[in-house]
Structure 1
Amino acid sequence: MRAGRLLSLLLLLQSRGRLTARELADELEVSVRTVYRDVEALGAAGVPVYADRGPAGGYRLLDGYRTRLTGLTGQEADSLFLTGMPGPASELGLGEVVAAAQLKLLAALPPELRSRAGRIRERFHLDTSGWFRQAEEAPFLTVVADAVWSRRRLRVRYRRWGGPDAEVERVVGPLGIVLKGGLWYLVAEVSGEPRTYRVSRVLDVRDTGEPFDPPEGFDLADFWAGWSVEFERRMYPVEVTVRLTATGLARARCLLGAVAARALEGVVPTGEWTTVRVPVESLDHALVDLLRLGPDLEVVEPLELRERMKGTLEAMVVLYGPSLC
């Protein structure tokens, strides 16, 4: 256990340069006292690590010192080759770069890990697109990704959803790119606020050459997690109350989508019928979706949806004939 921690400490110093004892302790999830002992152990082993004194001080390696030791376990090597699978990297224009990096990593690995890496490529394939949906074209993805990496502002012409002013033009500060369900999104700052743009809806983009500094403390993963929750809340703003049979409850988790499935998670039948509340996009969407559950679902409220369900069923009886009654 300690040997792995010593190696992690060494690689942290090699990759990041000067780090304080507190920063190392936080990264390694140990006490500062443990860091002091580990640094002494590295020095005793011949690693040229030394401390700079003063407010801007910390531990660092002797200039020019590099270790060839990677310390990769078999599972760690496997994970690196999984992240380098074709698809997303190619869409970002990094396919050749990833391939070259894999070759270099293969050359550096010992024979047993090299063999494992080869098996990963043979036996695992990453397909990020959803079922029954054609992959969206995002012709400006590489330009956007380059601006994200270089921190330069972009002038973007974008097609919003519907409305008379669906096409807009914005100068944005790129904060990051997210791949969600096979779709690429640009997170960018506009008027001091982070916003999200679907890259496939970008009609044109130009690099302004103007440098952009992201707001201090911005974390892309944290922003996306919060934005996703808020997006789902906005997309499913209505709740309806329904009664479900045990069969209907089981089928609803499959037929009503992921948001409804989460709302029904943990619900167990309480008798012949179970009353639950289900989030929906709108009453129009609910009418179509809930009819799929047939006699295993009854709408309780809102009354408007219940009446619309009843009217639809009466119209279907007329359409298919009174013999159905």
Structure 2
Amino acid sequence: MRASRLLRILLILQNRGRRTAAQLAAELECVPRTILRDVDAMTEAGLPIIVHQGNQGGIELGFNYRTRLTGLTEEEARAMAIQLSAPTHAIDALGMPAALHSARAKFIESLPDRARKAAEAALAEISVAAPDVASDPYVIALAEAVRDRRIVRLRARSGASVECHPARLSFDGVAWALHDARAPDVAIPQGDWGDLNISARRYCD
């Protein structure tokens, strides 16, 4: 969480210039004291952070330090902002809406000024809503098994359990399917998973 906040502070300062601790705290939904501690950590890490004291003071980046995502047109930036703001059942089922929200904020802050303003305008002009979808513990567990190449037993509590080497999860907008590394073209629909037993054993690709 802190690493994510530090990156957002860096992107805000490089794109918007000098900001007070109070302004940064309001943007990042924390208290000014947290911002000041973060600034100290960034300075210790070697980033050229300059803190100005007094009524006209604030926090800014020195030495023209910049890191930018370049190459996007304003229209492309608008499209990406809308896409990243659109809710998806897949993200919700995987328990990742907070991660997507954080990634969207970082993406927008990393854009050049004109593209960033276009993206922010798109978010203000267009809102996409969808029913809340609870995260699915089975999908989350299988996503981790896919990532770690863990052997999984489907329908583990039945008399017809099946061993699977999970290589990929797919989502068609309605339901999930699991693909076994030994038969990647065969989709095992979510309704056939049953109870899962995820082994500590890994399989080889």
Question: In which range does the TM-score fall when normalised by the shorter chain?
Answer: 0.5 to 0.7
Aligned residue number for residue 85 of structure 1:
86
Distance 1:83 1:112 in 2: 18
**Structure 1 103/124 Cα, relative in aligned 2: closer, same or farther at 3 Å?**
same
Distance 2:200 2:118 in 1: 44
Aligned residue number for residue 310 of structure 1:
none
What is the number of equivalent residue pairs in this alignment? 135
Aligned residue number for residue 208 of structure 1:
199
Distance 1:121 1:212 in 2: 43
> Which residues of 2 match residues 92-107 of structure 1 at below 5 A?
92-107=94-109
Distance 1:142 1:79 in 2: 28
Q: CA deviation at 1:84?
A: 5.5
Aligned pair 1:197/2:188, yes or no? Answer: yes
Q: Is the 8 A contact 1:139 1:200 kept in 2?
A: no
Give, as a single letter, the amino acid of the residue that structure 1 aligns with 2:199.
Answer: T
The Cα offsets for residues 187-236 of structure 1, whole Å up to 9 and x where unpaired, read as 123xx32331222443222321222333xxxxxxxxxxxxxxxxxxxxxx
The Cα offsets for residues 250-295 of structure 1, whole Å up to 9 and x where unpaired, read as xxxxxxxxxxxxxxxxxxxxxxxxxxxxxxxxxxxxxxxxxxxxxx
Matched residue SS, 2:128: coil
Distance 1:158 1:83 in 2: 37
Aligned residue number for residue 146 of structure 2:
148
Q: CA deviation at 1:168?
A: 3.0
Matched residue SS, 1:140: helix
Aligned residue number for residue 18 of structure 1:
none
Q: Percent same amino acid among aligned pairs?
A: 25
Aligned residue number for residue 71 of structure 1:
71
> Which residues of 2 match residues 226-265 of structure 1 at below 5 A?
none
Q: Is the 8 A contact 1:153 1:172 kept in 2?
A: yes
* TM-score using structure 1 length: 0.35
Distance 2:142 2:200 in 1: 13
**Structure 1 172/121 Cα, relative in aligned 2: closer, same or farther at 3 Å?**
farther
Q: CA deviation at 1:91?
A: 1.3
Distance 1:109 1:177 in 2: 31
Give, as a single letter, the amino acid of the residue that structure 2 aligns with 1:206.
Answer: N
Aligned residue number for residue 11 of structure 1:
none
Q: CA deviation at 1:137?
A: 8.6
Q: Is the 8 A contact 2:170 2:178 kept in 1?
A: yes
Aligned residue number for residue 108 of structure 1:
110
Q: CA deviation at 1:95?
A: 1.3
Aligned pair 1:182/2:174, yes or no? Answer: yes
Distance 1:178 1:102 in 2: 23
Structure 2: runs of 5+ lacking an equivalent: 1-66
Distance 2:187 2:143 in 1: 14
Structure 1: runs of 5+ lacking an equivalent: 1-66, 130-134, 160-164, 215-325
Q: CA deviation at 1:69?
A: 4.4
**Structure 1 112/168 Cα, relative in aligned 2: closer, same or farther at 3 Å?**
farther
Distance 2:155 2:192 in 1: 9
Q: Is the 8 A contact 2:68 2:112 kept in 1?
A: no
Give, as a single letter, the amino acid of the residue that structure 2 aligns with 1:179.
Answer: F
**Structure 1 72/196 Cα, relative in aligned 2: closer, same or farther at 3 Å?**
same
Aligned residue number for residue 128 of structure 2:
125
Q: CA deviation at 1:98?
A: 1.1
Could you say which structure has the larger radius of gyration? Answer: 1
Give, as a single letter, the amino acid of the residue that structure 1 aligns with 2:190.
Answer: V
* TM-score using structure 2 length: 0.53
**Structure 1 139/113 Cα, relative in aligned 2: closer, same or farther at 3 Å?**
same
